[in-house]
């Protein structure tokens, strides 16, 4: 799986630390990750489905990677993903996704926060996620969890730092209409469209006065 910039999944996954004992390792880490991600992108939802789909595509895979011992079992996939560092995996995958964006024509990136249904418990706050969505490509580029909706103001700049946005237009609702967020977007060499509500009285009035000139 190669993008216009020549960045392959194998190129990004070499940065991930292999947590397994070398002498007991049968399958190559990078190859396993390439197979698993390819399966998910093709619609597989479980490790069992990834194994079945990959076995059907074995000849195709061997055009790009060796897979000397064939396709690992679903249990082997499960054990690996239980061991690897999720942050390393996320960073590598985001790097690959960022390289895919020009080919997909992802010109508009919408940032939005939503609270997950039924995620709150009696002794815990509901899970609130801030997501970056490439509108034209129909692709979620990244997500950041916050303790509550009000924390979007701090979560959004952190999420922006992980995205390749040069030449894109970033849209955010009124919660994200803050000077530091606008600057963070410009720092990523992108433009922005930010919403303003009437309850943001000072800012709304200043904008009205500006456009009346």
The token pair that represents 121 in the structure block: 């418990």
3-state secondary structure of 30: helix
End-to-end CA distance of the chain: 52
Question: Is residue 184 located within the same domain as residue 142?
Answer: yes
Domain closes at, from 83, 100, 117: 100
> What order do you get walking across the sheet with 128-134 strand by strand?
139-146, 128-134, 108-115, 169-172, 191-194
The total of structural domains in the chain comes to: 2
As a whole number of angstroms, the distance between CA 120 and CA 140 comes to 23
What does pTM read for this prediction?
0.59
Based on its alpha-carbon atoms, the radius of gyration of the chain, rounded to whole angstroms, reads 21
Instruction: Say how far apart CA 89 and CA 75 lie, in whole Å.
Output: 19
Q: In the listed set 49, 71, 100, which residue is the last one of a domain according to the structure?
A: 100
**Long-range contacts, 117-125 (Cβ 8 Å, 24+):** none
Question: Does some domain include residue 4?
Answer: no
* Confidence at residue 127, expressed as pLDDT on a 0 to 100 scale: 63
Decide which of 51, 73, 100 is a domain's last residue: 100
Which pLDDT score is estimated for 41?
80
Q: Which domain holds residue 56?
A: 9-100
**Does the pLDDT value for residue 168 go beyond 70?**
yes
Q: Do residues 71 and 113 both lie within one domain?
A: no
69 within a domain of the structure (yes/no): yes
Count how many Cα atoms sit within 13 Å of the Cα of residue 202 in the half-sphere of its side chain.
2
* Residue 26 sits in the same domain as residue 118: no
- Let me know whether 182 and 203 are in one domain: yes
Same domain, 109 and 197: yes
Is 104 or 60 the better-scoring residue by pLDDT?
A: 60
Whether residues 169 and 141 share a domain: the answer is yes
Q: Are residues 79 and 159 in the same domain?
A: no
């Amino acid at each position: 799986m190669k993008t216009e910039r020549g960045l392959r999944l194998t190129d990004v996954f070499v940065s991930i630390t292999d947590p397994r004992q070398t002498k007991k390792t049968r399958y190559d880490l990078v190859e396993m990750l390439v197979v698993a991600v390819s399966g998910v992108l093709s619609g597989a939802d479980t490790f069992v489905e990834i194994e079945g789909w990959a076995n059907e595509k074995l000849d195709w895979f061997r055009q790009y990677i060796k897979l000397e011992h064939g396709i690992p079992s679903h249990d082997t996939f499960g054990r690996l993903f239980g061991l690897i560092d999720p942050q390393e995996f996320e960073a590598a995958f985001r790097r690959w996704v960022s390289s895919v964006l020009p080919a997909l024509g992802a010109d508009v990136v919408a940032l939005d926060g939503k609270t997950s249904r039924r995620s709150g418990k009696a002794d815990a706050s509901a899970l609130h996620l801030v997501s970056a969505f490439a509108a034209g490509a129909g692709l979620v580029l990244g997500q950041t969890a916050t303790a509550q909706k009000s924390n979007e103001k701090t979560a959004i700049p952190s999420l922006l730092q992980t995205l390749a946005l040069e030449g894109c237009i970033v849209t955010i609702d009124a919660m994200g209409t803050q000077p530091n967020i606008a600057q963070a977007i410009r720092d990523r060499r992108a433009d922005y469209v930010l919403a303003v509500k009437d309850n943001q009285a000072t800012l709304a009035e200043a904008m009205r006065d500006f456009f009346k000139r």
